[in-house]
């Protein structure tokens, strides 16, 4: 486009032009800038503001890159904030510090008594679980995870409270009630209040009523949990007073305490030949989430950084061209007494003003686009909408960054401008 526009310039227009943007002041925007400049700004600052809008086509191309970089940076920061909030909310629903899974079922009363004998343990639960398939019309449904897992929940338990999106959570006195994954229900057209058949393998089939749907943040394939009252499971099967997954709440709730309790319990159980298949603290869950998201956020931050560098280079090129076009103008200002610091400050101020304009445009764009982007990323990565939170600190952070980028990008053109002598500039044709 610039080459095409340059080719259209006639010989007479090229010879007559001083490169000063002679058409500035003809539009309403230009006249508004002049009025504001005369009223509130000193002469050098007023010239810097006017020069920003003198070449609007060039300004638009430079702004496009800077605005894109700013919008991308703010959106990535907001996405990071939203992911962090989503992880915080998800882990807050898991009010325990460590969990242990046995190879085989163990007696609930014995395991809970031994676990709560440790002074750092304030509460323990041993939950029964059994692989299951949900049957409709005699056919197995499609689970959202790697298969279904029926999990028993003791009465009045608050160690795990999933995010309920429809219906309700389990209540004391419930019998043959289940809460299942919303995604599984949607895939199989299962409605609230509907009765489903759970195939528990060697434990037989039984009918259960769906009382609620939950939504969970999951980044790896895992069993699709179907929650039911533990006593109701025992009544429907031949099992009683046994469980496989131990949830432990520690005091104090710190990573060091959780790790120490996990080691103590594992050693204590294995000394009695009760094999522990797996252990996981809530803090290891958080570390896993953080590491998982870091790889994607790092890539997006890298893209935003590259765009910012490209924007800075574009700004440097734009100001350098402006210096060449205004060589005679610089000579006139020097001839009437303009000092080197004034000229240098004027060009740096031009760059900073362009950075501020891009910031003013990027902020509202990122605010509007942020929530839809968070929802798209959440659905694409975890099949859930992220808990959205716009990052206001990032707005101030990008303001500081774009000012620094603008100053650094303006230094070379500004030094080039002040190095021009009066004789050279006035002789420039």
Q: For the segment 231-284, what is each residue's pLDDT rounded down to a tens digit?
A: 999 999 989 999 999 999 999 999 999 999 999 999 999 999 999 999 999 999
Q: Which residues of 20-37 are buried (b: 16+ CB within 10 A; e: fewer)?
A: ebeebeeeeebeebeeeb
pLDDT band at 16 (very low <50, low <70, confident <90, very high): low
Percent of the chain with pLDDT over 70: 81
How far apart CA 429 and CA 412 sit, in angstroms, is 23
Query: What pLDDT is recorded for position 24?
Result: 45
What is the side-by-side order of every strand in the sheet holding 121-127?
121-127, 242-250, 98-107, 276-281
Q: Most confidently modeled of 109-113, 238-242, 312-316? A: 109-113
Q: Minimal CA–CA distance to 353: which of 315, 320, 323?
A: 315
Give the pairing of strands 177-181 and 139-140. unpaired
Amino acid 51: pLDDT: 67
Instruction: Output the CA angle 409-415-416, nearest 5 degrees.
Output: 100
Confidence of residue 83 (pLDDT cuts 50, 70, 90): confident
Distance CA 243, CA 184 (A): 25
- Residue 288 pLDDT > 60, yes or no? yes
For 269-414, list the strands marked E by DSSP. 276-281
CA distance 96 to 118: 15
Yes or no: say if 105 and 329 are a contact pair by the CB < 8 Å rule. Answer: no
| Averaged pLDDT, 323-338 | 71
Per-residue pLDDT reduced to its tens digit, 45-79: 566 666 666 666 777 778 888 888 889 889 988 98
Q: DSSP 3-state helix, strand, coil percentages of the chain (rounded to 5)? A: 55, 20, 25
Q: Specify burial of residue 52 (Cβ count, 10 A radius: 0-12, 13-18, 19+).
A: buried
Distances (CA, A) of 72 to 25, 77, 301, 405: 34, 9, 8, 16
Comparison of pLDDT for 281 and 333, the residue scoring more: 281
SS3 97: coil
C-alpha distance across the termini of the chain, in Å: 25
What's CA 218's distance to the chain center, in Å?
A: 16
Q: How far apart are CA 153 and CA 132, in angstroms?
A: 16
**Could you read off the pLDDT of 343-362 as tens digits, one per residue?**
777 778 878 888 888 899 99
Of 32-46, 240-254, 408-422, the one with minimum mean pLDDT is 32-46
pLDDT tens sequence across 125-150: 999 999 998 887 656 666 555 578 99
Token pair of 414 as six digits = 């500004």
Paired tokens of 382: 């975890």
Q: Please, what's the largest Cα pairwise distance for the chain?
A: 103
Q: Rounded to an integer, what distance in angstroms lies between the CA atom of residue 296 and that of residue 378?
A: 12
Going by C-alpha positions, the residue among 98, 97, 127 that lies closest to residue 112 is 127
Residue of 163, 147, 170, 279 whose CA lies nearest to 230: 170
Q: Backbone phi, then psi, for 28, in 5-degree steps?
A: -65, -40
Mean pLDDT score of the chain: 83
Residues 6+ apart with CB under 8 A from 261: 97, 98, 118, 120, 121, 248, 250
For residue 309, what are its two tokens? 């560098």
**Which has more confidence, 236 or 2?**
236
3-state secondary structure of 190: coil
Look up residue 398 and give its two tokens.
Answer: 């990008």
The pLDDT, as a whole number, for residue 241 is 94
Residue 228: predicted pLDDT: 96
Q: 3-state SS string over 35-62? A: HHHHHHCCHHHHHHHHHHCCCHHHHHHH
Beta strand 98-107 with 242-250: parallel, antiparallel or unpaired?
antiparallel
Q: Looking at the DSSP assignment, which residues form a beta bridge with residue 208?
A: 196
385 phi, psi to nearest 5 deg: -80, 135
Lowest mean pLDDT among 30-39, 50-59, 87-96, 309-318: 30-39
Higher pLDDT, 36 or 301: 301
Q: Which residue has the higher pLDDT, 115 or 13?
A: 115
Q: Report residue 364 as tokens.
A: 């509202």
State whether residue 208 is helix, strand or coil: strand
């Amino acid at each position: 486009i610039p080459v095409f526009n340059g080719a259209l310039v006639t010989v007479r227009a090229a010879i007559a032009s001083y490169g000063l943007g002679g058409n500035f002041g003809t539009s309403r925007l230009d006249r508004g800038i002049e009025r504001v400049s005369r009223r509130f700004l000193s002469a050098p600052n007023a010239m810097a503001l006017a020069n920003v809008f003198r070449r609007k086509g060039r300004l638009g191309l430079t702004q496009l890159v800077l605005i894109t970089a700013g919008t991308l940076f703010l959106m990535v920061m907001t996405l990071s904030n939203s992911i962090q909030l989503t992880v915080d909310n998800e882990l807050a629903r898991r009010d325990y510090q460590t969990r242990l899974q046995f190879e085989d079922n163990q007696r609930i009363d014995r395991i809970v008594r031994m676990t709560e004998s440790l002074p750092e343990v304030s509460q323990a639960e041993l939950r029964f679980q059994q692989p299951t398939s949900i049957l409709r019309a005699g056919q197995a449904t499609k689970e959202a995870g790697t298969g279904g897992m029926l999990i028993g929940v003791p009465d009045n338990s608050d160690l795990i409270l999933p995010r309920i999106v429809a219906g309700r959570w389990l209540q004391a006195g419930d019998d043959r009630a289940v809460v299942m994954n919303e995604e599984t229900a949607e895939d199989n057209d299962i409605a609230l209040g509907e009765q489903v058949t759970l195939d528990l393998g060697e434990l037989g089939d039984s009918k259960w009523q769906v009382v609620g749907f939950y939504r969970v943040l999951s980044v790896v394939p895992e069993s699709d949990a179907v929650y039911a009252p533990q006593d109701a499971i025992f009544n429907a099967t031949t099992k009683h007073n046994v469980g496989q997954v131990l949830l432990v709440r520690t005091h104090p709730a710190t990573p060091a305490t959780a790790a120490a309790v996990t080691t103590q319990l594992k050693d204590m159980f294995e000394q009695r030949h009760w094999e522990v298949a797996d252990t996981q603290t809530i803090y290891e869950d958080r570390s896993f989430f953080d590491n998982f998201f870091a790889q994607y956020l790092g890539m997006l931050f890298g893209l935003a950084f590259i765009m910012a560098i490209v924007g800075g280079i574009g700004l440097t090129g734009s100001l350098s061209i402006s210096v060449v076009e205004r060589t005679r103008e610089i000579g006139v200002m020097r001839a009437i007494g303009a000092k080197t610091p004034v000229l240098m400050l004027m060009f740096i101020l031009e760059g900073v003003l362009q950075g501020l304009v891009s910031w003013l445009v990027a902020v509202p764009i990122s605010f509007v686009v942020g929530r839809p982007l968070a929802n798209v990323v959440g659905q694409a990565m975890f099949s859930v909408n992220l808990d959205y939170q716009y990052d206001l600190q990032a707005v101030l952070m990008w303001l500081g960054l774009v000012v620094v980028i603008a100053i650094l990008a303006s230094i070379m053109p500004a030094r080039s401008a002040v190095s021009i002598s009066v004789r050279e500039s006035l002789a420039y044709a």
